[in-house]
Amino acid sequence: MEKGIDRSNKFGNTLKVGWFLAKRQIKGSNKATTLLIIFIMMLTFLNLVVVSGILVGLIEGGNIANREQYTGDVIIKTLPGEKDIGKTYEITNTLEKMHGVKYFSVRYFEGGQIEANYKTRRDFDTLQDLVSTQITGINIKNEEELSNISDYIVEGEFLKEGESGYIIMGSSLLRRYSADFGDYFASLEGVYPGEEVKVTVGDNTRTFIVKGILDSKVGEVSLRAFITEEDFWRLSDRPGLNGNEISISIIPGATLTSTELKSNLIKAGFENQGKIQTALEAIPDFLNQIKIAFSLLGNVIGLIGIAVASITIFIVIFINAVTRRKYIGIMKGIGISERAIEISYIFQSIFYATLGGLLGLLLVYGGLVPLFLAHPLDFPFSDGILVAPVPDTTFKFFLLLLVTLIAGYIPARRIVKKNTLDSILGR
Amino acid sequence: MIKVKNLHKKYATKHLETLVLKGIDLEVKEGEFLGIMGRSGAGKSTLMYQMSLLDHPSGGEILIDGANTENMSPKERTQMRLGTLGYVFQDYALIPELTASENVMIPLLMRGNTLKEAKDIADGVLGKIGLSHRIENKPSQLSGGEQQRVAVARAMAHDPKILFADEPTANLDTVSGESVIELFEELHKKGQTIVMVTHEDEYAKYCDRIVYLEDGKIVKESRKK
C-alpha cells in the first residue's frame, strides 16, 4: 500500500475527514444532550409549520366547508340586477353532457319571512316572532349528491324526495343557535322539529312543518330555510323555471379543473346568463386578506422560533468547540485543514437539524394533519384544520437546515481560526 | 534537511516584551537524531515549535528541504505539516472520542487515503509497535505509555521526513518512557530524522547530537561518541 500518497488538496478529502470527525463526535457525545438538541430542532420545525398552518387552516377550513357545502368547485350565481340565472335549463343540459362534471344542484330562492309561535301569541299587541330569510327550493337528490346536506342536520330529519309541506330551518334563524349574533340578526324563539311555521313569499303564505334543523358554519347554508323544489314553485309566483344558484362539483382527480370548467361554461356562452366563479373566486376577498395576514403572522412567529433554534445551535457548537479547542489545535498541528474541522461542525449541525426536521415532518404528516382533519378546531366561523402544503413544508425544512448550518459554522470558524499553538497550549 | 538561520522569537504583551530565542543557528541532517536540552525556560520547546511550523518566528529563517518556510502561506504550512512532518506531544494529544486506530487514521485520510487504506495502515503501524490488541480502545482506556505509543504511530503512519517530539517521556514512568525512546531508536535506525526536546539526561544517550540551550541561545553541542 502506498503510504506516501498525497491527494490532500482535494476537497473530497476535506469532506471525508469532516464527516469522519463529525460522525465520531456525535457517537461520542452525551446521548441525553443529543436528544435534547434534536427535540429542540423538532419543536422549532413544528413551530415553523404548525403555527402558520393552524392560522391559515382556520380560514382554509372555512374555504373547504364553503366549497363542500355550498359552492361546489364552480358556482353560477344570478347576475347583479337580474332576478335569476338565464337559460338555466340549457346550462344544466350542457353540464349533464360535460366530461369531468360529477354533480350539480340548482337552487331557487326568494326573499321571504318565516313566522313562528303564532299559535301561542296572546294578542295582536305583542310582536310577531318573525325572521326574514331566503326560502330556498332544492332538488333533494341533486343537493344531497352535491353537498351531503343531510349530514348537517342536528335535530329532526332531512327532507325526502316527493314529500310536501316540510321545511328545514338553518340554525342561524333560531335564537338557541345564534344567541351570540342576537344583536345582529333577528331569530326565532323555540322552533323544534314537528312544530308549525308560516312562510310568506310575496303575497303567498303557507304553513310548513319543521322537519329538521340544519347547522353549518357556512353562512349561506345556516341562514337559509330549505323546502323542496316542488313546494317552492307552489309558494312562489315567479314566472319561468330559472334557478338562482347552480353549484357544480367535478370528479376528483379528473383532468378537468375548476378553472377549465369555468372557462368551458364561458366558451359555451353562459357568461351573460349568470356570474360564473370558481370556489376560490367565490370566497369573499376579506377572507383571503385574513388568510394572507395569518400566514404572515405565522411566519413571523416561526422566524422567532428559527432565531431561537439558531442561537441554541450556536451555543451548543460554541461550547463544544471551546471545550475542544486544544484538540482542534492538535488536529491543525498534525495537518488537518481548518476547513475539514469546520465541516465536521457543520455536519453536526446538519445532523441535529435533519433529525429534528424529519421527526417534525413525521409528526406533522403522520399525526397532526390527520388529527386536525378528524378533529378540527371548533371556531365560530370555521372548522380549523392544519394546512401544511408539501412545497411550503419542504421549504421550511431546508430553511431550518440552512439556518442551523450557518449557526454551526460561525462558532466553529471563530475557534478554528485561533492560533494553532495557542490552542494546543491552552493560552 | 532543516536549516535554522539567526532565529529570533519574542513574545510581547502591552507592557512586556520577552525575547525567548536570540539568534539560533542550527542544521539538522537527514537521518539524524537531534536532542534539544536545557533548563526550564531556556527556549527549547519554543525552538521546536518554530522548526515544526507550529509557530512563526519573529526573525530569521527556517528552511526545510531548501524551502523557506516563512514565505509559505498558512495553507502551504498546513500541507507541509501534514506531508513532511510528524509530531509527538508531551501529553500525547490524542483525540478522546476516537479509538487508537482512528487517531492514527485522521492524517492519512486528510492525505487522500481511503477509509480502508487508512484503517489498514493504522492497524499495521499499531501492530508493529505492539498495540494490535488496543486498536479499538479509546485513549481513556489506554495507559500513558500506550497513549504515547499511539501518538508515535499517528506521527509515523504517513512516513514523515522529520519527526518532532516535545518531551515525549515527561509524563511517563521509567518503563513506559524507556519503551517510547526505544521506539524512537528503532525508527532512527531505519533512517528516520528525529528532533526531540528533552530534559532527561538518561535519554540523551540515544541522540546522535545534542544541543544545549540557555537563555535563548545554543551554548553547547555534543555528539555521540
DSSP sequence for A190-218: ---TT-EEEEEETTEEEEEEEEEEE--SS
Q: Which of A7-11, A182-186, B73-77 has the highest mean pLDDT?
A: B73-77
Lowest mean pLDDT among A278-287, B18-27, B77-86: A278-287
Q: Using the 8-state DSSP alphabet, how is residue A189 labeled?
A: S
Encode pLDDT of A107-133 as tens digits: 999 999 999 887 776 666 667 788 899
> Between chains, do B106 and A424 touch, taking CB under 8 Å as contact?
no
Task: State the pLDDT at residue A185.
Answer: 66
What is the band of A44 on the pLDDT scale with cuts at 50, 70, 90? confident
Q: Would you call A13 and B111 a contact, using CB atoms and an 8 Å cutoff? A: yes
Nearest neighbour of A1 by CB, restricted to B79, B98, B117? B117
- In a 13 Å sphere around the CA of A93, the CA atoms on its Cβ side amount to 7
CA distance A186 to B102: 81
**Average model confidence (pLDDT) across chain B:** 89
- Please count the residues of chain A: 427
**What tens digit of pLDDT does each residue of A77-88 get?**
999 988 899 899
Please tell me if residue B164 touches chain A, with a CB cutoff of 8 Å.
no
Q: What is the pLDDT of residue A4?
A: 46
Q: What is the pTM of this model?
A: 0.74
**Chain B residues within 8 A of A31 when measuring between CB atoms:** none
Give the number of C-alpha atoms closer than 13 A to the C-alpha of residue A158, restricted to the C-beta side.
Answer: 17
Q: In what order do the strands lie in the sheet with B33-38?
A: B85-88, B162-166, B193-197, B33-38, B209-214, B217-223
pLDDT more than 90, % of chain B: 47
Residue-wise pLDDT for A282-330, tens only, equals 887 777 788 788 888 888 887 887 888 788 888 888 888 888 898 999 9
Locate cell 506531508: which residue? B83
What are the CA-CA distances from residue A115 to residues A169, A171, A219, B183 (Å)? 12, 15, 21, 109
What is the rounded average pLDDT of the residues B74-103? 90
**Confidence band of A182 (pLDDT split at 50, 70, 90):** low
pLDDT digits (tens, 9 = 90+) for A183-206: 566 788 888 999 999 999 988 999
Question: Distance (Å, rounded) from C-alpha A262 to C-alpha A281?
Answer: 11
Of A395, A373, A176, A215, which Cα lies nearest the Cα of A306?
A395
* C-alpha cell belonging to residue B65: 528541504
Asked if A263 has any chain B CB less than 8 Å from its own CB, the reply is: no
The CATH class for the domain spanning B31-56+73-223 reads alpha beta
Instruction: Give the minimum alpha-carbon distance from A378 to chain B in angstroms, rounded to a whole number.
Output: 53
B-chain residues near A337 (CB < 8 A): 75, 78, 110
Are the beta carbons of B106 and A20 separated by less than 8 Å? yes
Tell me if A333 and B87 make a contact (CB, 8 A cut-off): yes
Residues of B whose CB is below 8 A from A18: none
Distance between CA atoms of residues A269 and B173, nearest Å:
101
pLDDT confidence tier of residue B15, bands split at 50, 70 and 90: confident
Using a CB-CB cut-off of 8 Å, the residues of chain B touching A27 are: 97
Kindly list the domain boundaries of chain B, sorted by start residue: 31-56+73-223
Inform me whether the pLDDT recorded for A6 exceeds 70. no
Q: Do A17 and B106 touch (CB under 8 A)?
A: yes
B154·A334 Cβ contact <8 A: yes
User: Does B97 contact A335 at a Cβ distance shorter than 8 Å?
Assistant: no
Residues of A with Cβ-Cβ distance to B82 under 8 angstroms: 6, 8, 334-336
- What is the pLDDT, as a whole number, of residue A2? 44
A321 CA to chain B: closest CA distance, Å?
Answer: 13
Residues 6+ apart with CB under 8 A from A2: none
- Nearest one of A73, A62, A153, A65 to A105, comparing CA atoms: A73
Is the distance from CB of A76 to CB of A91 less than 8 angstroms?
Answer: yes
Query: With contacts defined as CB-CB under 8 Å, which chain B residues touch A334?
Result: 81-82, 86-87, 106-107, 154-155
How much of chain A exceeds pLDDT 90, in percent? Answer: 46
CB contacts, 8 Å: B158 with chain A: 3-4
Q: What is the pLDDT of residues B29-53, one digit of tens each?
A: 999 999 999 988 889 999 999 999 9
Hey, are the CB atoms on A337 and B159 less than 8 Å from each other? no
